[in-house]
A and B are shown apart, each in its own frame.
Chain A
Amino acid sequence: ETGVTQSPTHLIKTRGQQVTLRCSSQSGHNTVSWYQQALGQGPQFIFQYYREEENGRGNFPPRFSGLQFPNYSSELNVNALELDDSALYLCASSWDVGGEQFFGPGTRLTVL
């Protein structure tokens, strides 16, 4: 059974640029949730996708957007990057919206 994978591992961008992060969910899982983890803090919920539809959103601005594909993989897009967007971005998959969430290794984004 393949676990949750994310790409890229690390990314460096400059302020104002746009970035796309990718996540492949664990086999059999149809739900993907994205979290932002700032250094020294717990993960903060960005949004969740269930069967290709956004299914809940945390307190993040619209420049954070996402997609889920028919194979349940997902993308997180961030426009107009700000310095405070520097963080570890985690995706977690689950077999359903209420199921246990299993996390990938994360993408470390640095905004200069």
Chain B
Amino acid sequence: GENVEQHPSTLSVQEGDSAVIKCTYSDSASNYFPWYKQELGKGPQLIIDIRSNVGEKKDQRIAVTLNKTAKHFSLHITETQPEDSAVYFCAAKDTGRRALTFGSGTRLQVQP
């Protein structure tokens, strides 16, 4: 089955700096890669996703890149703000599978 590894497990940045979180996946059939933000006491919130026919996608301060050859994808947050502090999860799936396979999460702390 699919296996997703996520790094780093914790990340502390100063407000205004950029943050990068990286994930690798094992199943070359995976073609859908969402990113979720989970705040304390809440469920994961979908913040951006990318499909395998696209190499990069951007939404305001958030961008995701995908390298299918290397089987890795990354989340980039620019101009970080204290409200970006949360746990971020990457996930992978192919259209034939029902389940998202999640990484182990990255706790992002943005210091004001």
Contact = CB atoms under 8 A, between A and B. Distances in A.
Majority secondary structure of chain A interface residues (helix, strand, loop or mixed): loop
B14 to A, nearest CB: 25
Interface stretch (B40-48, B52-60, B78-86): B40-48
Interface string B3-43: 01010000000000000000000000000101010000111
B63 interface: no
A45 B104 contact: no
Contact of B36 (A58, A103, A104): A103
Chain B interface residue number, banded:
20 to 34
Contacts of B6: 42
Contacts of A102: 46
Nearest to A48: B98
Contacts of A106: 42-43
Interface of A: 4, 6, 33, 35, 40-45, 48, 55-56, 58, 90, 97-98, 100-106
